Amino acid sequence: MQTELFEVDPLSDNRKLYARAAEALGAGALVGIPTETVYGLGADALNPEAVARIFEAKGRPSFDPLIIHVHHGSEVEKYTAVPEGLKDLVHTLASRFWPGPLTLVLPKADIIPDIVTSGLPTVAVRVSAHPAMRGVAKALGRPIAAPSANRFGHISPTSASAVQKELGGSIEMILDAGACSEGLESTIVRPVLDEKGKPSLELLREGPVTREQFRNLVKVVRRKPSCRPVSEESPADAPGQLTSHYAPRKPMLLLEPGENFAPVEGVKYGLLSYEGTSALAREGDWAEVVAMSPGSGRLAEAAVRLFALMRQMDENEAIDVIVAESVPESGLGRAIMDRLRRASAVRE
């Protein structure tokens, strides 16, 4: 299969291109579509056969549910069954953070196929801030199931070229809108009623919308990691919950705060540094040093650059092992550290 690449013109409304992509989706095709976070691998969410192709193309296990994208918050009620006690909270979150990098896990409507949700009674839904994803969803007139457009467990793609390297030849189309503006996958939350019947939020995945941004709206609970194994019989209850994820093909070692680095003789290391100015970056014998936020230590810049730099180091043949410095674990730094920990987790 030849994968066609189409450039999204930022100075045009691109409606014809979005209509073409929607037509392809409607025919069961897979399309790489940019969002503000990462590029998504889109399929018609109401077509089970098309959604099955997402799992096949990515090598994604069927017990890992997908996010669906809609073009406007008003569409959510078509595809969810939010209980009365949570409707005000859902409306508040949608009004405050959509379009944007926030995913809500909500009770699903019967119209959503079980393959999208891995058989769970909930569906993860969001409205992207990227005009391409919203434009294609509007042209399609149905939700788009769209996990990150990469092989399962690998580094998430923040450019069309990364999608091409990962999935070229196995999907029909990629929309190229340049680099993503956020660089980290969306924050995932689940509105719930607490033991007193009051609305609260479970924070399931850290992301660009930080927990501090919720505090004046609702009580936030950081759910403790589950000890149960995730499997086809016991699926993850939201996307992005696996311990090992977002990982390069090469081994990756994360230095937690205060942890020293002890190199092994004969191994060639590359350093993924926070600012590039640490003693470790200056004094170590590195095959390559790259900085997430060169010299400035800005978490927003580090988030945008993280996956692209991980991919750069993964493709450097002079490196055997990637070593990553930690970043300050506050605000957006929690999301960055979440991705670094999952990328460096031991894979079985």
Q: Which helix (H) or strand (E) holds 223?
A: none
What's the pLDDT tens digit per position in 181-226? 999 999 999 999 988 889 999 999 999 999 999 988 999 987 665 4
Kindly report whether the peptide bond that precedes residue 61 is cis, defined as omega within 30 degrees of 0. no
Full-prediction pTM beyond 0.85? Answer: yes
The binding site for ATP comprises 60, 148, 156, 205, 246
Write out the binding residues for L-threonine: 37, 69, 122, 126, 146, 186
- Does 307 have pLDDT greater than 70? yes
Fold: same for 4-176 and 252-344: no
pLDDT band, very low/low/confident/very high, at 231 (cuts 50, 70, 90): low
Q: What is the pLDDT of residues 97-149, one digit of tens each?
A: 999 999 999 999 999 999 999 999 999 999 999 999 999 999 999 999 999 99
Could you report the per-residue pLDDT of 259-275, keeping only the tens digit for each? 999 999 999 999 999 99
Q: Residues within the annotated binding site? A: 37, 60, 69, 122, 126, 146, 148, 156, 186, 205, 246
Q: What is the CATH number of domain 252-344?
A: 3.40.50.11030
Phi and psi at residue 255, to the nearest 5°: -90, 105
Give CA 240 to chain center in angstroms: 7
Is residue 228 very low, low, confident or very high in pLDDT (cuts 50, 70, 90)?
Answer: very low
> What does the domain layout of the chain look like in residue ranges?
4-176, 252-344
Rounded CA-CA distance 27/20 in Å is: 11
CATH 3.90.870.10 fits 4-176, yes or no: yes
